[in-house]
Amino acid sequence: MLLKVGELARRTGLTVRTLHHYDEIGLLAPSGRSEAGYRLYSQADVQRLHGIQTMRQMGLALSDIGELLAGEGMAPERIIGQQIRALDQQITQATELRGRLAMLRDGLMAGAEPDMGNWLEALALMTTYGKYFSAAELKQIFTNWSLIEADWLVVKDLVRSAMDRQLPPDSPEVQALAYRWMALMLHWMGGDIDLLDRWGHMFRTEPSTQGRNHAPPGDMIEFVETAIKLRMALLEKYVTRDDLRGLGHVPHAQWAELEAQVQQLLAQGVPTQHPDAIAAARRWDQLFGQLTYGSPALREKLIAASEQEPLLQAGSPLSAPVRAYLKAALLLPAAAASPATHAAEKSPKKVFQKA
């Protein structure tokens, strides 16, 4: 049985024009012609066409298909391998897209029903984010935002106040804010320095990301980064990037509570050997253990950096009188022999404490 070109086109879902083109380029020549000159296709022609359609669905170019059918192209296993890799890439891209769309649905656009402008803005932001991060990384970043949101909004307002008062980057107040800013950012990124570097790079180079969804505006980023660079230039004399990856997180409220407690002891003239002073020293020891995940080596490095660099001292979450009082109390035999002290130093725990 021979099929005319129109009937073959209907049965295969192709157009007559496509079949004519295949004939013109020698990819699928009909086995015969009718007396009226119409193309006639045999069963072997149909089988060849099925092969052509299959390879087209695999993404092969017509020229490659022709060479393959003629036995002049690459080996079939190589072609199949190429197509598997191409499909893997498509699956990866589709998975990335699905992840970003899921974030738009589940969290990024939470709240009031967005209008067209909000949707376009969100899609544009996701495109920008996608230049720097995978969907999995973005999910981690947006999910972890709840860990720091409350503290972050406070710190951002304090930084704006410092900017309005034109405080210099090396002032004690700004350095303390730089410390809090760094600690929150590191906690947000789960201690991943590379992730934090890329996030900062994106905000520096992509103005569209600045000032949106509680993100800092450009002038605030520049102000804080100037203060942070001063700290990092000194801190890197004592610790490595691997050391920074090993830092835990101590919420500012816990430092503030200890500061207020010790200030009250100082105001009341309570001696360092008093049980309340020793209890405060043990609490300090515990917080330091939380900050360093119980690493004595990292603890020593941080203490050395703070003691030898006045700028780092200025940004400490505890004031100099409080640190001196706690240090004196901690060195007393009763505090030094405390099980809490040894436990903090030996703890192998490697998970971030939530704010």
- Indicate the range of 96-105, 173-182, 271-280 predicted with least confidence: 96-105
The full length of the chain comes to: 355
C-alpha–C-alpha distance, residues 193 and 179, integer Å: 16
**Rounded to an integer, what distance in angstroms lies between the CA atom of residue 54 and that of residue 37?**
29
- pLDDT for 44 beyond 50: yes
Measured distance CA(350)–CA(298) in Å, rounded: 14
Query: Which is more confidently placed, 87 or 196?
Result: 196
Task: Round the average pLDDT of the chain to a whole number and report it.
Answer: 80
Please tell me the least confidently modeled range out of 98-107, 211-220, 224-233, 333-342: 333-342
- For 71-83, write each residue's pLDDT tens digit: 755 566 666 676 6
- Round to whole Å and give the CA distance between 355 and 120: 33
Bridge partners, 4 (sequence order): 40
| Phi, psi angles (nearest 5°) of residue 168 | -75, 155
Domains present along the chain, CATH in parentheses? 3-69 (1.10.1660.10), 135-235 (no CATH), 252-346 (no CATH)
- Torsion of Cα atoms, 307 then 308 then 310 then 311, to 10°: -100
Contact 350, 293 (CB under 8 A): yes
Q: Which CA distances in Å does 178 have to 58, 136, 140, 355?
A: 55, 29, 24, 18
Q: How far apart (Å, rounded) are the C-alpha atoms in residues 15 and 12? A: 9
Query: Which candidate, 220, 186, 183, 181, places its Cα nearest to that of 203?
Result: 220
Predicted confidence band of residue 20 (pLDDT cuts 50, 70, 90): very high
Whether the pLDDT of residue 355 is over 60: the answer is no
pLDDT of 346 above 90: no
Rounded to an integer, the average pLDDT of 28-52 is 87
Write the burial class of residue 276 (CB in 10 Å: 0-12 exposed, 13-18 middle, 19+ buried): middle
Is the confidence at residue 354, as pLDDT, over 50? no
* pLDDT confidence band for 335 (50 / 70 / 90): low
Per the model's pLDDT, the better-predicted residue between 23 and 342 turns out to be: 23
Side chain identity, residue 38: Y
What does the alpha-carbon distance between residue 239 and residue 242 come to, in Å, rounded to a whole number?
8
- Tell me the C-alpha distance between 264 and 258, whole Å: 10
The rounded distance, in Å, linking the Cα atoms of 318 and 176 is 9
Instruction: Tell me the backbone φ, ψ of residue 124, rounded to 5 degrees.
Output: -65, -40
CA angle 32/37/40 to nearest 5° reads 30
Lowest mean pLDDT segment, chosen from 151-155, 326-330, 346-350: 346-350
Average pLDDT in the 212-222 region? 81
Is 3:12 a contact under the CB 8 Å cutoff?
no
Share of the chain above pLDDT 70, in %: 78
Helices (H), the chain: 5-12, 16-24, 43-57, 62-69, 76-103, 116-130, 135-164, 172-188, 193-205, 218-235, 241-245, 252-267, 275-292, 296-308, 310-314, 320-330, 333-336, 339-346
Low-confidence winner among 31-40, 129-138, 287-296 (lowest mean pLDDT): 129-138
Using only C-alpha atoms, the chain has a radius of gyration, in whole angstroms, of 33
Question: Which pLDDT value is given to residue 272?
Answer: 93
Place of tokens 């691997």: 242
Residue 112 has pLDDT above 70, yes or no: no
Q: What is the pLDDT of residues 298-317, one digit of tens each?
A: 988 988 888 899 888 878 88
